[in-house]
């Protein structure tokens, strides 16, 4: 695992599916879904990757004491195509949630983890039939793991990594990305999987690998990058009856009553080598961390081992229910056992909303949309320094483009697209790859009125790229 734990690096950052980007001009023109960008400063590696706003660099304020640097990394994993044995550090650590194992119209019958727990208890004399606790009252990790592992999946895909040399010459190569997902429900036609946004953003050829080793194509239904949550889907028609009998649906638990010191189990695709189990306690609650200028609040800290590939995996209580989603860890000399998870209570509404969105696949080039803007990223550092909202600052709007017709103007700051949060050009570009020309979407943006930015929304009919 490559953590880039440089003592002189004081920045919190994602490293997961994000390959270090080129710190160049980040002005880009969004033309279509084929990444036809001009003067691009991002590498299309993640919705979180963004280069600093380049026009005016704020001065750094000196501190009265030296702070030891730590590196916060996200627990996805990325394998470099340059050398098969070299692993790049990717250390990001439809329907309602199903609560039964009843067959639906498809005839696919999938048990819940609670059913699995009950079955484990019945076959283990040390466990009661209504709980997975041992007679001593301590957590039985084996019982939790046995019941919950069938609800975990590996999420594998590919991404294009772009880089440039000192002399400005660019090159790109394809790398393989791997993370974890949690089966949380099913509709009449799809199996629904929750994971981290950074696990699936900007990923091609996404595959879901189930606990029995079988795999199926997987599509992203939607993501909220500012919360690092995404929902993906697998068609039930692509799941055999044998696989359906070997997997399970996890149950999301209210995490508001979690106690410090409570025992937990973490499951995830550590190092991209398949699901593994670790255990620990809740070390702290309501923690905040900032990574790549994105701040996450209300997090749980745990000392359970979270490693590359664990992103999107489950943090489970003694009943085998998911109380949080693992996504990051602190990695530095002298720092151990500081991993972070997103409490279910913080994102339950987001998950429910994303589960109902239309499942999309990338559109072909002949159906590519055209938005017609050139923009730069406003990171949280520059936002706080200049008083701007965090988002995508429009620098130019092409005449008669989709953006122009929708009323978007220069200096407007885009913050949302089709009910999904978007704060970087790379994130917006990634989303646009799944929309066709002619579709109508809502864009949320800030518009300057007097001396203040006011949040507004507008409906945009995506256009077609004009012939050059």
φ/ψ of 349, rounded to 5, equals -65, -40
Q: Which of 198, 276, 331, 444 is catalytic?
A: 198
**Residues 44-79 pLDDT 10s:** 333 322 222 223 333 444 444 344 445 666 666 665
Three-class HEC string of 153-195? EEEEEEEEEEEECCCCCEEEEEEEEEEEEEEEEECCCEEEEEE
Q: Which of 18, 201, 226, 228 is catalytic?
A: 228
State the Rg of the chain over Cα: 22
**Residues 269-317 pLDDT 10s:** 888 888 989 999 999 999 998 876 678 999 999 999 888 888 999 999 9
- What is the percent of the chain with per-residue pLDDT over 90, rounded to a whole number? 39
Look at 4-13, 115-124, 395-404 and tell me which has the smallest mean pLDDT. 4-13
Q: How far apart are CA 435 and CA 225, in angstroms?
A: 18
Q: Exposed, middle or buried, 274 (CB in 10 Å: 0-12/13-18/19+)? A: middle
Active site residue 447: no
Its pTM surpasses 0.75? no
Active site residue 198: yes
What is the Cα 119 distance to its own chain's centre?
A: 33
pLDDT greater than 70 at residue 441:
yes
**Please, what are the domains in the chain?**
1-21+37-360 (2.40.10.120), 365-464 (2.30.42.10)
Q: Which of 27, 114, 118, 311 is catalytic?
A: 311
Q: How far apart are CA 406 and CA 372, in angstroms?
A: 11
- Distances in Å between the Cα of 84 and the Cα atoms of 162, 175, 202, 236 are 18, 10, 21, 33
């Amino acid at each position: 695992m490559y953590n880039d734990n440089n003592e002189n690096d004081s920045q919190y950052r994602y490293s997961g599916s994000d390959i270090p980007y080129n710190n160049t001009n980040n002005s880009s023109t969004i033309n279509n879904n084929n990444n036809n960008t001009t003067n691009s400063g991002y590498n299309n590696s993640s919705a979180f990757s963004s280069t600093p706003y380049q026009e005016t660099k704020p001065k750094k304020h000196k501190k009265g004491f030296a702070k030891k640097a730590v590196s916060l990394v996200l627990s996805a994993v990325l394998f470099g195509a340059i050398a098969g044995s070299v692993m790049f550090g990717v250390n990001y650590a439809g329907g309602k949630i199903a609560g039964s194992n009843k067959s639906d119209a498809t005839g696919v019958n999938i048990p819940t983890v609670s059913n699995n727990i009950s079955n484990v208890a019945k076959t283990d004399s040390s466990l009661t039939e209504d709980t997975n606790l041992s007679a001593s009252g301590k957590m039985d990790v084996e019982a939790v793991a046995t019941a919950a592992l069938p609800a975990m999946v590996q999420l594998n895909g590919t991404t294009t990594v772009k880089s440039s040399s000192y002399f400005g010459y660019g090159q790109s190569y394809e790398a393989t990305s791997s993370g974890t997902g949690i089966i949380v429900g099913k509709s009449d036609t799809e199996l629904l999987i929750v994971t981290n946004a950074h696990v699936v953003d900007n990923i091609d050829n996404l595959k879901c690998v189930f606990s029995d080793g079988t795999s199926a194509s997987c599509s992203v239904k939607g993501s909220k990058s500012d919360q690092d949550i995404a929902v993906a889907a697998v068609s039930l028609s692509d799941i055999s009856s044998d696989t359906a009998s070997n997997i399970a649906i996890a149950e999301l638990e209210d995490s508001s009553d979690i106690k410090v010191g409570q025992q937990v189990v973490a499951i995830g695709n550590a190092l991209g080598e398949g699901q593994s189990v670790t255990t620990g306690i809740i070390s702290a609650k309501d923690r905040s961390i900032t990574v790549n200028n994105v701040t996450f609040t209300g997090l749980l800290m745990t000392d359970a081992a979270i490693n590359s590939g664990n992103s999107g995996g489950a943090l489970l209580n003694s009943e085998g229910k998911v109380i949080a989603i693992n996504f990051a860890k602190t990695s530095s000399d002298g720092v151990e056992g500081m991993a972070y998870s997103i409490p279910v209570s913080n994102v339950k509404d987001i998950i429910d909303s994303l589960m109902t969105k239309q499942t999309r696949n990338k559109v072909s080039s002949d159906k590519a949309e055209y938005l017609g803007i050139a923009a730069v990223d406003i990171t949280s550092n520059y936002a706080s320094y200049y008083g701007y909202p965090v988002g995508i600052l429009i620098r130019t709007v092409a005449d008669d483009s989709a953006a122009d017709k929708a009323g978007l103007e220069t200096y407007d700051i885009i913050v949302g697209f089709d009910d999904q949060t978007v704060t970087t050009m790379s994130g917006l570009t990634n989303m646009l790859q799944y929309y066709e020309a002619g579709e109508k979407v809502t864009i949320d943006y800030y518009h300057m009125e007097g001396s203040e930015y006011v949040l507004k929304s507008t409906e945009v009919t995506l256009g077609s790229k004009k012939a050059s």
